[in-house]
Amino acid sequence: MTDSSDNRVLVTGASGQMGRRAVELLLETHAGRLIAATRTPETLDALRDKGVEVRRADFDDPATLEAAFTGADRMLLISTDALETPNRRLTQHRNAVRAAEAAGVRHVVYTSSAAPVPTPESSLINDHYWTEHALGASGLDWTILRNSLYTDFLLLSLPQAVASGQLYSATGGGARNYVTREDCTRSAVGALVSATGRSIHDITGPAPLTQDDVAAIVSELTGRPLAHTALPADALREGMIGAGVPPFMADALTAFDVACARGYSAIRTSSVEALSGRPPTAVRDFLAAKIDALTSAN
Ligand SMILES: NC(=O)c1ccc[n+]([C@@H]2O[C@H](COP(=O)([O-])OP(=O)(O)OC[C@H]3O[C@@H](n4cnc5c(N)ncnc54)[C@H](OP(=O)(O)O)[C@@H]3O)[C@@H](O)[C@H]2O)c1
């Protein structure tokens, strides 16, 4: 680790939730020059007013990326949300890695996912595996952050589960170490300002939880009964599609549960504290602050 306040730091995807928060945190902690790169520079006038240089960067537009990254020493490469079209996201990430190297960026921090593996078909996890591979094959230094599933994601399914009293998953009793987006962002910022060399960190919460554990926590917090039912993966996917979840998203969410059932999501590390300087937030504490959201579907 090194103090890097002389470095020029660039954040891609700066209008997304993690990107925006990362720039805010950098404004609080990093004395050096900041560059916010986004597809929509017009949405970041507030950052410009605070002295941040705002640039346009779209990973689908590779010819423009080298110029967009030029002048940055260190870069937070935030994985995109382009999951709908097979392999599009992987192409985007490869474009970004290539451009970072051509632009003279020295260190890239990348937001990967737990246990990335290659898959025969296009998939979320395949994108991360091959993006990590592209970084490894480059001349860049890098920090790969394998973010566990966001605790925040529970708020997409739990309100409906609380209303019906039923929580469904295909985790097969496997445990998952949820981590908040805020903890992922703080860890990314920590790595961005100070990591050196090449390293991989699993970014996890404080303790893996099964879906039975999650149901028990939510019951206790809301005072309402909530039972967890373990389903086969196909049944979970069909149920989500029947409920209106787009197929590409149902595929991604089912794959997360299958990985969990296989034991890939139960990793516990001290990386959040090491990188961000504070311990990760427990699921119970995160949800306790969101009681209104949990009971909003009633
Ligand atoms: N660990 C988890 O549970 C979890 C959950 C959800 C997502 N993620 C991943 O983590 C990333 C950050 O999370 P988030 O919550 O901040 O997501 P988000 O708010 O949905 O943001 C999506 C991000 O994708 C960027 N993006 C989309 N298309 C792009 C393109 N063509 N070129 C460059 N950037 C592009 C956006 O940047 P601009 O709009 O500024 O261009 C934005 O930063 C997500 O994009 C996704 O890859 C992880």
User: What tens digit of pLDDT does each residue of 235-281 get?
Assistant: 999 999 999 999 999 999 999 999 999 999 999 999 999 999 999 99
Q: Quick check: CB of 92 below 6 Å from ligand 1?
A: yes
Q: Quick check: CB of 110 below 6 Å from ligand 1?
A: no
pLDDT digits (tens, 9 = 90+) for 105-139: 999 999 999 999 999 999 999 999 999 999 999 99
Measured torsion, CA atoms of residues 106, 100, 199, 139, in degrees rounded to the nearest 10: -70
pLDDT at site 70: 98
Q: Quick check: CB of 19 below 6 Å from ligand 1?
A: yes
Cα separation, 114 vs 132, in Å, equals 12
Structure tokens at 219: 């019951």
Which residue has its alpha carbon closest to ligand 1 atom 29?
Answer: 80
When pLDDT is cut at 50, 70 and 90, the band that residue 11 belongs to is very high
Which residue(s) pair with 179 in the sheet? 150
Q: Quick check: CB of 80 below 6 Å from ligand 1?
A: yes
Residue 3 pLDDT greater than 60, yes or no: no
Residue 4 pLDDT greater than 70, yes or no: no
pLDDT digits (tens, 9 = 90+) for 184-199: 999 999 999 999 999 9
CA–centroid distance, 57 to ligand 1, in Å, is: 13
pLDDT at site 269: 98
What are the CA-CA distances from residue 48 to residues 10, 36, 61, 191 (Å)? 14, 9, 23, 24
Cα separation, 97 vs 72, in Å, equals 13
Whether this model's pTM surpasses 0.95: yes
Q: Quick check: CB of 82 below 6 Å from ligand 1?
A: yes
Which residue has its alpha carbon closest to ligand 1 atom 9?
Answer: 79
Cα separation, 180 vs 286, in Å, equals 8
pLDDT at site 32: 85
Q: What's the mean pLDDT when you consider all of the chain? A: 96
Contacts for 183 with CB less than 8 Å, ≥ 6 apart: 203, 205, 272, 276, 280, 281
pLDDT digits (tens, 9 = 90+) for 124-182: 999 999 999 999 999 999 999 999 999 999 999 999 999 999 999 999 999 999 999 99
Q: Quick check: CB of 204 below 6 Å from ligand 1?
A: no
Q: Quick check: CB of 17 below 6 Å from ligand 1?
A: yes
CA–centroid distance, 216 to ligand 1, in Å, is: 31
Residue 222 pLDDT greater than 90, yes or no: yes
pLDDT at site 297: 86
Nearest atom (ligand 1) to Cα of 148 = 1
Can you tell me the mean pLDDT for 59-79?
98
Nearest atom (ligand 1) to Cα of 149 = 3
Q: Quick check: CB of 192 below 6 Å from ligand 1?
A: no
Can you tell me the mean pLDDT for 88-102?
98
Contact 184, 147 (CB under 8 A): yes
List of domains in the chain: 9-147+181-204+268-279 (3.40.50.720)
pLDDT at site 44: 98
pLDDT at site 5: 67
SS3 content of the chain, % helix, strand, coil (to 5): 45, 15, 35
Structure tokens at 280: 């990760």
